Structure 1
Amino acid sequence: MAAVPRQGRTQTGVVGHMVVCGDDGLARRLAVELREVYRQRVVLVAPADEAEEQGGDLGGADTDTLSGAVVLPVHVETARAPTPAALLRARVNQAAALALMYEDDETNLRAALAARRLSPGIRLVVRMYNRKLGQHLEELLDQAALVSVPGADRAVLEASTTVLSDADTAAPALVATAIADTNKVVQADGLLLRAAERPVPSRGEVPDPGLCTLALLSSTAAEPAGFEGSDAGGTPGPELLPDDRTVRGATARGTVVLEAVRHEGPALPARRLARRGAPLGEVFSARLRWALAGIVAAVLALSVTTTLLTEADPLHAAYLTLLDLFSINDPAVDESTTRQILQLLSGLVGLALLPLLVAGALEAFGTFRTAGALRRPPRGLSDHIVLLGLGKIGTRVLARLRELDIPVVCVEQDADARGIALARDLGVPVVLGDVTEDGVLNTARVHRAAAFLALTSSDTTNLEATLAARALKSDLRVALRLHDDDFATAVYRTLRSAHPGAVTRSRSVSHLAAPAFAGAMMGRQILGAISVERKVLLFAALPVAGHPQFEGRTVAEAFRPGAWRVLALDTARPEARHPDLAHTGRDEQPSLLWDLHPGHVLHPQDRVVIAATRRGLAELLGPSPNGRVAATGHR
């Protein structure tokens, strides 16, 4: 067994290695992310068959030809399960962070409890699909860390456990792909942010600056944006976090700007048929309502006529009319002819009322019976998103799309699929049927849709559905989930060649989820990372206190070009702040202020969101209280 890599040293202190345990492709991708993006030493614990498949790609140190930084190797340990013995072989007691990435929630739960006993202060990242169980586990493990490490920094230990779901973390990127054709997204305080590449503006064109300019691309007016070999031939490489003067002077270079992901299509109608009740217009038909209104008008007319033609007062006249209407009054045999005629007319109106009451009861019963059934797509629906597959991933994507009020039509073959209940509760139209059969996609109105998301667990089903959807609408924006990377590359190139005018994206859940897990391993303050050609920008939430680069300075003064830039300010009170801005609850109100005035002074009690390079973030964080470098590799 090869030795675990020793802990390295930088100018900031001791760096512990990262341990990743898992039995599928997500663990492998996380190890690669930690190695290549954050420059961390990684030990991967995987079953023997998975380790043999991964070993060839993960071993061996090399050098990034663009930056000159050494990319460290990933050491692979074989273990059938994350037992305490396996964790000790990976030296988890000396590691900075541990990720438990098994598909089974129970396996991750058992391993997390064992790891907390072996290393009470270690940062834990646990993959769990069950949200409620994950929340309880997070609180339990943080409490265990507080008890096991007396006298340690309470704030650090209370944020030492992060429970994530690959479905939850991949959903924002899949949604962003369907809405804005990008997967370079960061989630902060419930807001989706994307790094949008802007080409060189035409003469006289005023480009949209977005929230801020993150980078200048290496392209010139004669080169495509994002050219990988841009350092060759004297062309400048990408410039991260440039100042405003540099941006204004770089008229021949594309830019990367930060902007919020928003849906530009039609919003959902105001009414909803969820479990909050149905409006009156959907309980009773228009014909029934008009008939009922006619009867009410007839009763009022009879009451007024009785008041005018008899000696009864208005209230007594209305009472007599209702008695006659329901046929419970005595016959007006000894009364005037006028009273007898009015009684007969009231009885005729009463005969018309009886079938209306029966019809109303039947309609209401039918409405409430079908309120829990699946809705069908409306005939006039257009510019919506067709979502294929309501499994683990599709369910989370559906929830996210509805949070953004985006019209969705779901297609699912299994009537007992995980997301069917959610679709029913949200009132989302669902087409039950095999997507490969004729007419299913037509029923989902694919020919009028804005985008198509194929998210089933079968690569062939996703591909077949994509080809069928493109046959109905050649310029349809498509994003399909594919597990095999080589297959995904071949599919993407073929579809792009066959439909050059349409947007085609192939997405792997492991590739989309790995950055979020990697950021959590580096610390909760890391919100995410976005690649700019072959460089990386990190997004982090940092307290102003303890950072002389921020404390007492204005936003403009705190900006260091090429190193870091303040993007937003957390306006919540310190005691009410969420420890993890990347994964706040859906019901919590946003607290980040993005439109900061350059003259705003940063105070010690503030918390800010910044964009930084690796080197800049390492300088800001410095040594953490427990002696390890907080949350960065060096560059």
Structure 2
Amino acid sequence: MVTELVSSGERVIALVNPASRHRGRIGELGAKVIDAPVISESLLRQAGINAADDGTPSAARALVLLDTDDVHNVHTALTARDMDRDLRIIMQMVNPRLGSQLNSLLGDCVVINGPSLAAPAFVSDALDDDELTWMELGGRMVVVGEADLIREPHLTVLADATSSATPVLLPEPDDEEQPDPTSAEPDDPEQAGRASAGTVEAEQAGSTAAETAEGDDEPKVDIVLGTGIRPVWYGRRVRPAGWAKAVRDVLDSRVRKIAALMAMLIAIGTAIVHFFGGIDWWRALYLAAGVVTTAGIDDNRFSDAPPWVKVSAVVVQLTGIVLMALLTAVVVDSLIGARLSRIIGGVRGRPRNHVVVCGLGTVGARVLEILVDRGVAVVGVDQDDDAPGVQVAHRLKVPVVVGDSSNEETLRLAGVQHCQAMLAITDGDITNLESAMVAQGLNPDARITMRMFDHDLADRVERQLGLGNSRSVSMLVAPAVAAAVGDKRRQVLVPAGRRVLLLTEVVVEADSHAEGRTLGQLREAGGLRVLARQTSHGPWDWQPTQTGLVKAGDRLAVVGTRAGLARLLMATRAQRRTMASERIGL
């Protein structure tokens, strides 16, 4: 995160726990380091959050909170908000529900959910699939792709390539074809000038090469925006072991041997009682079973029996007491040694062509959800049966193997030898590295992706060991945090044939042309579409009324062509007086 901020020209003061192994590295990257075992109000003032009562702003213009504990982040955010009501706060939250509530309570606050931002990259590596584009837009995770891949209902159609050879961008629901907005001339000369100037900025933000991408084949399906993926079965679903496996695990070989010995004693006792006691077979079986299982015996029946028969009955009863104690101990040991999640969640049968996810933390839990949405057969592995992803796996009926993912036997139980991909995304670099090495030995053809915190180690592993790709959650999340610090637009380019659409968020500035206009007036057929609107840091509205008036401070989630976005940027920017008007005092 510090690397991303410093490289973007920001001056960074880092509050770091002295025990952190990253402390020295953060200082080398160009940040000023302040040791902070516990973040307090005095340390925040030392770092530059020092707004005065007379309205003087703080020296710091943004606070980034990256603690892994949501409670600590909330406490620090509330403290900073009391110190400066206008300070921009960017905070990472593991609990997205709590984050959405804080977004409206803390004012100028941006909540980042690392697992939601990073998980799609791991899924793309596992499936070797780049047909889908994920992004956070309008306060929610959305996905762009072909219509047959996106789950209905679709949020909007971005491009229609079914009615003509050339894709129609942002088609209206009732119109079969829309004019090309890049070729239309605006009626207002001033608007034309603004569009021309804005196009330069949009070109810098976008990719010119993407719009003129090479390729002979045009897409023949709609490109849509949605919130989920249609199930597309990549392999036969792997089923949890269930109670049948649970019973087999509890009734292991020890239980079976003890039960066999008890059955043999009952059979011998039944024969003795029948032949020497003169008792019918069913009554003899009942008496023998009572002796062996220590349930007691009818002594009156044996009062006249020979002494050796009485002694044999006592010996059998004592043996039964020992066997019952052993049986109880073995069953209890089986239940404790194989926890319920391991017993019920194990793998049934021999899975093939599935994805093995090692590490079911917050990132692993989100990866499981996306894979299940895609209809991919998946097996989870984690040594902690209380991990967040284990509970998610049980809810999604995904089998889980509880054990060390670096252990060969654990990976064999997960079916790594027949999987199509393995994701090693635990919290330990060494564990992920060992898991990848074991998986490669069991299945050289599997696609392997590792989560690596140490960037230097990840680079050397990729170059020298050839174990597959490596990803860092912090590297995947850092650009979003840096953009939030600078209040910069985060945007995604969506190719549509030889052209491109851009999805981004735009803030309406005070004294701009857009202020006071309706959302319908900002919309351009085939050039720009407003998807969602946020007013005064409140919740996002994904069904905004087209007659609603645009106010200063509104944030708009939009999709448009480069020219359409350029016109919107100029319309939402505050008007600036010309040099001539300044000279005459206007």
TM-score range, shorter chain: 0.5 to 0.7
Deviation at 1:42, TM superposition (A): 4.2
In 1, are the aligned partners of 2:103 and 2:111 still within 8 Å (CA)?
Answer: yes
In 2, are the aligned partners of 1:179 and 1:262 still within 8 Å (CA)?
Answer: no
In 1, are the aligned partners of 2:231 and 2:375 still within 8 Å (CA)?
Answer: no
Which of 96, 101, 107 does residue 72 from structure 2 map onto? 107
Deviation at 1:172, TM superposition (A): 2.9
Residues 65-107 of structure 1: CA deviation (Å, up to 9, x unaligned): xxxxxxxxxx524141432222223333334432111233333
Aligned partner of 1:173 in structure 2 is 121
Verify: 1:453 aligned to 2:423, yes or no.
yes
Residues 45-68 of structure 1: CA deviation (Å, up to 9, x unaligned): 43467553222223xxxxxxxxxx
Which of 423, 426, 433 does residue 393 from structure 2 map onto? 423
Deviation at 1:113, TM superposition (A): 1.2
Aligned partner of 1:506 in structure 2 is 470
Which of 18, 27, 30 does residue 55 from structure 1 map onto? 27
Deviation at 1:243, TM superposition (A): 10
Partner-residue secondary structure (3-state), 1:452: strand
Which of 448, 460, 470 does residue 440 from structure 2 map onto? 470
Provide structure 2 residue ranges, at least 5 long, that are not aligned to the other structure.
52-57, 147-163, 171-202, 246-338, 496-501, 551-555, 576-586
In 2, are the aligned partners of 1:382 and 1:445 still within 8 Å (CA)?
Answer: yes
C-alpha spacing 1:416/1:78, structure 2 compared with 1 (3 Å): same
Deviation at 1:125, TM superposition (A): 1.8
Task: Give the residue type in structure 1 aligned to 2:24.
Answer: E
Rounded to whole Å, the distance in 2 between the matches of 1:427 and 1:554 is 44
Which of 477, 481, 495 does residue 451 from structure 2 map onto? 481
Aligned partner of 2:2 in structure 1 is 28
Aligned partner of 1:390 in structure 2 is 360
Decide which moves more: 375-384 or 481-490.
Answer: 375-384
Deviation at 1:517, TM superposition (A): 2.8
Partner-residue secondary structure (3-state), 1:479: strand
Rounded to whole Å, the distance in 2 between the matches of 1:428 and 1:410 is 7
Rounded to whole Å, the distance in 2 between the matches of 1:29 and 1:130 is 26
Residues 17-45 of structure 1: CA deviation (Å, up to 9, x unaligned): xxxxxxxxxx425534xx43xx5554444
Rounded to whole Å, the distance in 2 between the matches of 1:553 and 1:52 is 50
Deviation at 1:442, TM superposition (A): 2.7
Residues 527-574 of structure 1: CA deviation (Å, up to 9, x unaligned): 556899xxxx873256795398996366367x5xxxxxx47734x9x8
Task: Give the residue type in structure 1 aligned to 2:116.
Answer: D
Partner-residue secondary structure (3-state), 2:411: helix
C-alpha spacing 1:207/1:100, structure 2 compared with 1 (3 Å): farther
Identity %: 27
Which of 117, 122, 144 does residue 87 from structure 2 map onto? 122
Deviation at 1:507, TM superposition (A): 0.5
Where does 1:146-545 land on structure 2 (aligned, <5 Å)? Answer: 157=107, 160-181=108-129, 185-188=134-137, 189-193=140-144, 240-242=206-208, 247=212, 265-266=232-233, 374-379=344-349, 381-496=351-466, 504-523=468-487, 526=489, 539-540=504-505, 545=514
Deviation at 1:488, TM superposition (A): 0.5
Partner-residue secondary structure (3-state), 1:419: helix
Partner-residue secondary structure (3-state), 1:171: helix
C-alpha spacing 1:209/1:56, structure 2 compared with 1 (3 Å): farther
Aligned partner of 1:91 in structure 2 is 48
Aligned partner of 2:54 in structure 1 is none
Task: Give the residue type in structure 2 aligned to 1:84.
Answer: E
In 1, are the aligned partners of 2:3 and 2:29 still within 8 Å (CA)?
Answer: no
Deviation at 1:580, TM superposition (A): 5.1
C-alpha spacing 1:77/1:386, structure 2 compared with 1 (3 Å): same
In the superposition, the TM-score normalised over structure 1's length comes to: 0.50
Partner-residue secondary structure (3-state), 2:72: helix
C-alpha spacing 1:492/1:605, structure 2 compared with 1 (3 Å): farther
Partner-residue secondary structure (3-state), 2:352: coil
Verify: 1:76 aligned to 2:35, yes or no.
no
Deviation at 1:484, TM superposition (A): 0.4
Partner-residue secondary structure (3-state), 1:569: strand
In 2, are the aligned partners of 1:374 and 1:427 still within 8 Å (CA)?
Answer: no
Deviation at 1:609, TM superposition (A): 1.9
In 2, are the aligned partners of 1:519 and 1:528 still within 8 Å (CA)?
Answer: no
Q: Which has the larger radius of gyration?
A: 2
Deviation at 1:409, TM superposition (A): 0.2
CA-based RMSD of the aligned residues comes to: 5.3
Deviation at 1:426, TM superposition (A): 2.4
How many residue pairs get aligned? The number is 400
Rounded to whole Å, the distance in 1 between the matches of 2:446 and 2:121 is 19
Residues 352-406 of structure 1: CA deviation (Å, up to 9, x unaligned): xxxxxxxxxxxxxxxxx98995333343643322100123332332234334443
Deviation at 1:454, TM superposition (A): 0.4
In the superposition, the TM-score normalised over structure 2's length comes to: 0.54
Rounded to whole Å, the distance in 2 between the matches of 1:77 and 1:620 is 41
Rounded to whole Å, the distance in 2 between the matches of 1:172 and 1:567 is 25
Partner-residue secondary structure (3-state), 1:439: helix
Deviation at 1:620, TM superposition (A): 6.0
Aligned partner of 2:289 in structure 1 is none
Rounded to whole Å, the distance in 2 between the matches of 1:208 and 1:461 is 50
Rounded to whole Å, the distance in 2 between the matches of 1:370 and 1:44 is 44
C-alpha spacing 1:495/1:538, structure 2 compared with 1 (3 Å): farther
C-alpha spacing 1:578/1:267, structure 2 compared with 1 (3 Å): farther
Deviation at 1:579, TM superposition (A): 3.6
Rounded to whole Å, the distance in 1 between the matches of 2:11 and 2:78 is 24
Partner-residue secondary structure (3-state), 1:546: coil
C-alpha spacing 1:428/1:270, structure 2 compared with 1 (3 Å): closer
